[in-house]
Structure formats: C-alpha cells, structure tokens
Chains A and B, each alone.
Chain A
Amino acid sequence: KQEVTQIPAALSVPEGENLVLNCSFTDSAIYNLQWFRQDPGKGLTSLLLIQSSQREQTSGRLNASLDKSSGRSTLYIAASQPGDSATYLCAVRGNTGFQKLVFGTGTRLLVSP
C-alpha cells in the first residue's frame, strides 16, 4: 500500500527566504506526482504535476523535482511571500487501477512579513 510522508509538518519563515518542502513515498511505481496548495476553507489548487518519466517541473517561483527510484520529491519556493502561506500537499497516482491520488499529510507554511 502506497504511503506518502511530508516533512516538515509545519514551517514558519520570514518573507524573502527560499524554502524546500519534502515528500517521500514508499512505492516507486507511480504514474505521476502532484503538488497542491490548500487555503483554509477552500479546495485544493494544483501547482505542479510531474510525470514519472520527468525529473522536474517549474512554474514561476516554484520548482518541483522527482527522484522516483528513491521515492522522493521536493518543492522549492523561491523568494517566499506572505501570500504563499497555505498548506502544501503532495499526492501520487499509482500505475495500476484508476486515477485515485494518495496524499501526504501536508506541510503548513507561514510566511511572515
């Protein structure tokens, strides 16, 4: 059974810092990996999707990497801003079965001005 772990559970940084969020998964037979953002009282917003054959994806100040063989992904946020404060969730989709996502427990990020 796929298990996804995210470290740290919470992170507080001053504005402007670069930061890294970590995600690890136990079964390397994945189809893709996604990073989501969740704001309080709102649904999930997809930030980046990395196919199993890819090593990284970039969108603006965000960069996500994937090392499938070691079961790890990182989300790098450059020059953090208070508006980045949210919970970040990592999710993997397996190679078999249908499209269900297996989520980590998330990293709660607070960026202070």
Chain B
Amino acid sequence: GAGVSQSPRYKVAKRGQDVALRCDPISGHVSLFWYQQALGQGPEFLTYFQNEAQLDKSGLPSDRFFAERPEGSVSTLKIQRTQQEDSAVYLCASSLIAGGPLDTQYFGPGTRLTVL
C-alpha cells in the first residue's frame, strides 16, 4: 500500500508569509507525528496526534506553529508569519497503534521549507 505522503515537497516563502504543510498518513494509522529537521541535524519532535486528538504539542517552537488533524486522518502543520529560522525539512510520521512495543513510525519524504 501507499506510504506516508507529504505535500508540497518543496516550499519557498518570503519572511512573514503563512504556510501550510500537508501530511497524508498510512490509511488506518492511529498515531501521527510532526518533526522538524534543520540542516545537518537529527529530526526534533514537534507534536503528536492520536486520531484527532493532539496529545502532545510540547515541541512546537512558538505560537506561530499550529497543527491539526480534524478527522483523524490528514494533518496540516501551519506556520504563521514565517521567519528564516523556520527553514528546515518538516517530516511527518504515522504508526498503526498507540504505544505498542513494536510500534514503528513510518516517515514521509518531508517538506523542505526555505524562508527568504
């Protein structure tokens, strides 16, 4: 079946613009994660959904970042008033169940955001 997909794959924004990044998880996956990966760094956790409930948003760097998953499937990460430090690859991951011992996260290809 299809894996996790993300769109757009590349996004260039002028500083101050709002952007929206989309994630389509694997069908039926309960858990959905967003990570931010700066150049040369490992991914860093942003937020976690279990179905439509946002259970952890401790990694969101500021109130300019907002994520939603209204129907428990597709998720959107929105960044308002983008700044240059927001430039990174944004990765989405999904997993089948919540909290199982062998619960592997499957990652999408990411959206590379460049803020000029």
Cβ of A66 under 8 Å from chain B: no
Task: Answer whether A44 and B107 are a contact pair too, CB < 8 Å, given A100-B56, A100-B59, A105-B42.
Answer: yes
The 5 closest A-B pairs by CB, nearest first: A103-B42, A43-B107, A100-B45, A44-B107, A43-B109
Q: Are B105 and A46 in contact (CB under 8 A)?
A: yes
Q: Contact mask A26-51 → B, CB, 8 Å, 1/0? A: 00000110101000011111100101
User: Which of B59, B99, B101 gathers the greatest number of chain A CB atoms within 10 Å?
Assistant: B101
A-B contact count (CB 8 A): 66
Q: Tell me the A residues contacting B by CB distance below 8 Å.
A: 4, 6, 31-32, 34, 36, 41-46, 49, 51, 89, 91, 97-106
Among candidates A4, A89, A101, A106, residue contacting B105 with C-beta atoms closer than 8 Å: A101
The A contact surface, by secondary structure, is strand
Task: Answer whether A89 and B42 are a contact pair too, CB < 8 Å, given A98-B56, A100-B48, A100-B56.
Answer: yes
